[in-house]
Chains A and B, each alone.
Chain A
């Protein structure tokens, strides 16, 4: 008996009917066999309506062999109860919550079945933003602190509820959903290829390149299109520029939070030079418009390459100077070291991905474990940290910038000798019918997963987006336990998770 369908991040889409449909007991056992190894984690587990049934699909990524495993189970109309798998695999908590919120499925024994984002098409309209069921502890010695949805700075909205004993945080609950725009359903409504691509860019503006690349890769796997080598290289360069820019910007923000002004202003200025390079390339500081399906409007050229090399050489050096200063200053270290620690065990159990995982010494980077585009031929060196604290998250950014700069220089060398294609984007693509497609891209936060299902006419009937923040918000909640509440801003900033990517 076949338990799963094996695929990888570069294969074309698969026939939806080839994904085995298991009974729930087999399905659970299959997951147990995967998740007992720490090199496997859940990319996504979600449900959609198919005919009268509810079809649940789970995608598991195995890091050691670059494979992705797809499996499914179904519920007939009217059936609403399933035994929760979260008690065995805490990393599934968010996915079961999402399914439960949307379709009203009751996951029995789920320890934390809270609303996720209050989508407009949720099953229970009586559940509204204002009556979120916060965890509470009765005690005369404890108090609660509520922060948000609107925060002090110019950032996105989200509500944080702390339960504190004096200054010490016992528990943090994160209530999101304020940014919910109904992105996934708009992918179905928009039949035009440009609209879809721009929608992907707007999922999270700070990850415009990452999300549009994940989307285009998905579309290309549904059209059997293999991007020519130069286009692959260009996309990788764009993705790394985005990573460098955000990491430097985050370093500035971390310095702001601990009052180290030199670090703040220098990094702010350096970030500007990087995003202005992206603007020089494509006319937009965030890389909007740069990634398009089946081609590009802004092919890389010699002038852009020279600018990238010049800026990265100069800004790179300046960033290394200031970063080494930042992370050797006792006054800064005192605020980062041992603050907001997440242990490796915790990170593994919640299925942390991307930066949050790598700061806990988990070797999880889809550029290496599930390579896409030109990363198949030129993989970066993995960068990890061991302690999982705010310092590790700061240091990781510094080291990743270093690695990305090196990577871009190599990619540029490869680009110079690659054959130049001149493929323009094509928005009138025809998608293959009855398919299931998966696409994973390592954005600067971590893995961005896009999934699509097509019907017999090749129309997209279901679209799913998974931001790495889906996995990682829980890491922030764990990080602040037993910390001073005044350290929350540093913890939050050091993760810098996405609100709109999560709320969709």
Chain B
């Protein structure tokens, strides 16, 4: 008993008191900022360099965080044009808002397209069923960490549950493999309506490094609207929690 008290005392207080204002180490690779627009020749180099085709040229130069694997190689190659900040609030509910262009402000949710029932029903309690469909286990680790002693999203009534019957929505990680497609559909069907779909990680949002693989089958996503895109490789717990808090209007 005395040993346990000693351990507890040294354990101290571990939870992050304010999840909205928490500070991450400066090197954390969050929202990129385009300081200067590259010229055509540089864009060509960037397109070749980017491992996940995240460079956008239509409508002006941009980086698509739904495709970005946050390797920062573009910023290493052109440090005076691209910089990765440690801003972890990068979740969006409009897919287009994940494209970062020069002069863009911080990423925010588009309030206008949030379905009214989401806030009405889930604001005080959101139970989620997580489905890993080809995820590499890093996003899954971070989702577990979102509920741990440090981040403790349970304080907001957000929780992962075991049964889809108890859930208000599903959280998908991974590019959605052919071999997992049917199980994902069955799980989604088992969640009572109304329900939300949250895509976590670059793999889930765009297929990431696996989008061209014949082993991936993303038809599931063509059928339903997505309520929240949470980019990252993997997603940081603070990105996930803040994304959901914005969705719920908390």
Contact = CB atoms under 8 A, between A and B. Distances in A.
Interface of A: 117-121, 129-130, 149-150, 152-157, 177-182, 185-186, 189-190, 192, 194-195, 198-199, 202-206, 208, 249, 262, 265-266, 268-269, 272, 276, 279-286, 288-289, 297-298, 318, 321-322, 325, 498-500, 503
Nearest to A287: B138
Contacts of A208: 138
A192 B51 CA distance: 8
B202 to A, nearest CB: 10
Interface string B158-175: 001011000000000011
B180 A182 contact: no
A297 B233 contact: no
Interface string B5-21: 01110110010000000
Nearest to B14: A269
Instruction: Give the interface centre of A118, A121, A289 by most chain B CB atoms within 10 Å.
Output: A289
A141 B25 CA distance: 59
A185 B7 contact: no
A178 B182 CA distance: 10
Contact of A150 (B8, B131, B144, B208): B131
Contact of A180 (B3, B179, B203, B212): B179
Contact of A156 (B140, B149, B216, B233): B140
Contacts of B162: 152-153
Contacts of B212: 186, 189
Contacts, number: 192
B145 interface: yes
A192 B53 CA distance: 12
Closest 4 CB pairs of A and B: A205-B138, A182-B215, A152-B162, A205-B136
Interface of B: 3-4, 6-8, 10-11, 14, 24-25, 27-29, 48-49, 51-52, 69-73, 76, 84, 130-145, 148-150, 160, 162-163, 174-175, 177-180, 182-183, 187, 203, 208-210, 212-216, 233-234, 236
B213 to A, nearest CB: 4
Contacts of A298: 27
Contact of B145 (A119, A202, A272, A289): A272
B148 to A, nearest CB: 5
Given A149-B180, A182-B213, A262-B8, 18 more contacts: A149-B183, A154-B130, A157-B131, A181-B134, A182-B210, A185-B213, A186-B212, A194-B71, A198-B52, A198-B71, A202-B136, A202-B210, A206-B141, A286-B141, A286-B234, A288-B70, A325-B4, A500-B136
B179 A179 contact: yes
A266 B25 contact: no
A265 B11 contact: yes
Contacts of A204: 136-137
B150 A181 contact: no
Contacts of B71: 194, 198, 288-289
